[in-house]
Structure 1
Amino acid sequence: MVAAGAERVSDGIHTEPGLSAGRTYRLSLVCFGSGSARLAVTPESTRTPVPCDQSVIQRRITVNKRVRIDVNSTNGSSGVIAWRIDAI
């Protein structure tokens, strides 16, 4: 495990983990509660929906530049989002 945390869905996740260039990592997210959130990993531009139904969402991240991870709730969402980054 490289980094991990848990936040309220309404607060979201906003982090720039210190990941090593040239390495590949796995980001895992799970949301408990109601509603949903949206995951964005910068410098990628794809937004991934994160349902708050206890489903695990995984994303592979290959680091070439500084990485920023943002998870923002949708209107009316509540609960907790837990996240973890593992080196592959």
Structure 2
Amino acid sequence: MTDGIHTEPGLSQGKTYRLNLVCAGSGSAQLRFEPAKAGTAATVPCDGSVVQQRIAADKLVRINVDGGSGATGVIAWQINAL
């Protein structure tokens, strides 16, 4: 997980999306958005659970997911329009 996920998806302004994120392995990962909005940061356990976050595409959104200290495994993500 040393590379993490760092992306600026092409979202349509004014639409709402759902980010599905899963981490499989051990440890945890940190999910952050830029620009930061209250309540959007989250710790994602690397136990295969799916974490969901709603995204309102007001501006360009950058999604950052970094593995926690000693975390190992893989991270997968998907964004769907609502």
Task: Identify unmatched segments of 5+ residues in structure 1.
Answer: 1-8
TM-score by length of 2: 0.93
The aligned counterpart of 2:28 is 36
Give, in angstroms, the shift of residue 44 of structure 1. Answer: 2.6
Q: Distance in 1 between matches of 2:81 and 2:19?
A: 9
SS of the aligned residue for 1:56 comes to strand
Give, in angstroms, the shift of residue 37 of structure 1. Answer: 0.5
Indicate the larger mover: 55-64 or 37-46: 37-46
Give, in angstroms, the shift of residue 25 of structure 1. Answer: 0.3
Q: Distance in 2 between matches of 1:27 and 1:85?
A: 5
Q: Distance in 2 between matches of 1:59 and 1:16?
A: 16
The aligned counterpart of 2:45 is 51
Root-mean-square deviation over aligned CA pairs? 0.9
Task: Identify unmatched segments of 5+ residues in structure 2.
Answer: none
**Which digits, 9 at most, give the CA deviation of each residue in 1:23-80, with x for residues without a partner?**
0000000000000000001223442001000010000000111000000111100000
How many residues are aligned here? 80
Q: Distance in 2 between matches of 1:72 and 1:51?
A: 12
Q: Which runs of 4+ in 1 moved over 4 A?
A: none
The aligned counterpart of 2:6 is 14
For the pair 1:74 / 2:68, whether they are aligned, the reply is yes
TM-score by length of 1: 0.87
Q: Determine what percentage of the aligned residue pairs are the same residue.
A: 60
